[in-house]
Structure 1
Amino acid sequence: MAVTDAAIDKIKQMIISGELSPGDRLPKEADLAERLGLSRNSLREAVRALALIHVLDVRQGDGTYVTSLEPHLLLDAMSFVVDFHRDDTVLQFFQVRRILEPAATALAAVHMTPANVEDLGAILDSLPAEPTVEELVANDLKFHQRIAAGSGNAVLGSLIESLSGPTTRARIWRGLTQEGALEKTREQHVAIYDAIASRQPEVARSWATVHIAGVEDWLRRTLA
């Protein structure tokens, strides 16, 4: 194991064991390096690496702290990696979305508060009668993000959020090239909303599957 990897592992074990908790400040660099049997350079490299994936928060002039370790922070690094997708792998991201988003939509039908449901309806209502493709895609992103957040599962919501980026281009391509795509998207969003508002999780799951699978099928045929 490389020296920096070993340093990362030692800090990780301090967090896992509970020796360091979310929000805790790390000991001074010299003290921590001596305690872990590391050089200060190796420790610094480990801290930089853990800061990049939001495990640690380096505050200039104050010290280094363990972050809240909330899922949205830890999974943010995944969205960075996802942004480097190739066109021939975007279909795989859609396949993952087709697995995750229907489950999140079913959960949202159970867990969303009346106020959350009202906000979801307001997103639909904010879409112009004849939206541009860009307006529709932005509205679509907001709609699905609100449902994911309403699932009551922070990890699931964060995973879906991180997968939204690479699929945006495909949705734009579809809107520009497939006849009736704008109307179909609006209709399916309304159906999903109605199922959530009426507290029908399995109906919501089914409509979410239809919605995402439709884009996936179009993309598969386009890439072929």
Structure 2
Amino acid sequence: MQFKKVNSESVVQLVINSLTDAMLARELRPGDKLPTETELAESLGVGRNSIREAIKILVYLGVLEIRRAEGTFVCEGFTESMIDPMIYGIILDTSDSYENLMELREMMEVGVMQIAMEKYTEEEIKGLKVILDRMEREISKGPENVEEVFKADNEFHNAISMMGENPLIDKINRVAKTLTHAIRFNTVKTMLETGRGDELFAAHQRLYQIMVTKDQSDMSTTVRNTYFAKVGIKAIEEQ
């Protein structure tokens, strides 16, 4: 296996880049054992300390794992720690804005629903109705029940995401949900406090109907109504 040699600038990052390139090229695959620190240092033309630091970072990110007495291996499967760098990168992006996050969330939700429509089972759609009914009950308990309504809201959208049976989309969708968590919570809270809980439920009921009928004609508008109600946006902007 041949890794790209690196120069002296940002050596640790360049080691990370070289290992990442090997994974992208499928020269390193999930479950593969990495060469030893000495072998990597020789192959990349850098010191062992740089190799060690790069491996530590990739272990922290959930890309590599160290098995005692065995060596360092490429991880198999997704870990939650992989989400963190993407979230921080978006948070620290000065060009980011509320509108950008809302557009990202809407795009993800619409795409997830389109895929879910093609794959869901009758049992899954019945399960979605159970969650929808629980959301209606929680909304009826009044504005002080925000946490439970929001929980039901999340479970509803999670259930649709799981119907798609696509782990890659589900992972990216989780990032979008994490980034918009506060915004979505405040929207739900504001709608309940202003007596618009019925509107929130109606929007989700319409999403359920769209899933059942597979009629996508007003899906984008309906998705937007479940998260981006004007009263919610106004409340958030005023904070």
TM-score range, shorter chain: 0.7 to 0.9
Identity %: 24
State which structure, 1 or 2, has the greater radius of gyration over its C-alpha atoms: 2
Q: TM-score, normalised by structure 1?
A: 0.82
Higher relative contact order (CA 8 A, sep 6+): 1
CA RMSD of aligned residues (A): 2.9
SS of 1:126's equivalent? helix
> 2:181 maps to which residue?
168
With normalisation by structure 2, the TM-score equals: 0.77
CA contact (8 A) 1:101 1:208 kept: yes
Distance 1:190 1:220, change over 3 A: closer
Q: 1:97 aligns with which of 88, 97, 105?
A: 105
Query: What pairs up with 1:25-104 in 2 under 5 angstroms?
Result: 25-68=33-76, 70=78, 74-81=82-89, 89-104=97-112
Q: Report whether the alignment pairs 1:183 with 2:191.
A: no
Partner of 1:151: 164
Q: How does 1:100-139 map to 2 (within 5 A)?
A: 100-127=108-135, 128-129=137-138, 130-131=140-141, 132-139=145-152
Q: Note if 1:195 corresponds to 2:210.
A: yes
Mark the runs of 5 or more structure 2 residues left unpaired by the alignment.
1-8
* 1:105–1:205 contact (8 Å) kept in structure 2: no
Q: 2:66 & 2:215 partners in 1: Cα distance?
A: 46
Partner Cα separation in structure 1 for residue 187 and residue 25 of structure 2? 48
1:71/1:154 contact within 8 Å kept: no
Unmatched segments (≥5 aa) in structure 1 = none
1:2 and 1:23 map into 2 onto residues whose CA distance is 28
Q: In the alignment, is the contact (CA less than 8 A) between 2:184 and 2:227 conserved in 1?
A: no
SS of 1:38's partner is coil
Question: How many angstroms does 1:150 deviate by?
Answer: 2.3
In the alignment, structure 1 residue 142 sits paired with structure 2 residue 155: yes
Instruction: Provide closer, same or farther for how the CA distance between residues 12 and 153 of structure 1 changes in structure 2, counting only shifts above 3 A.
Output: same
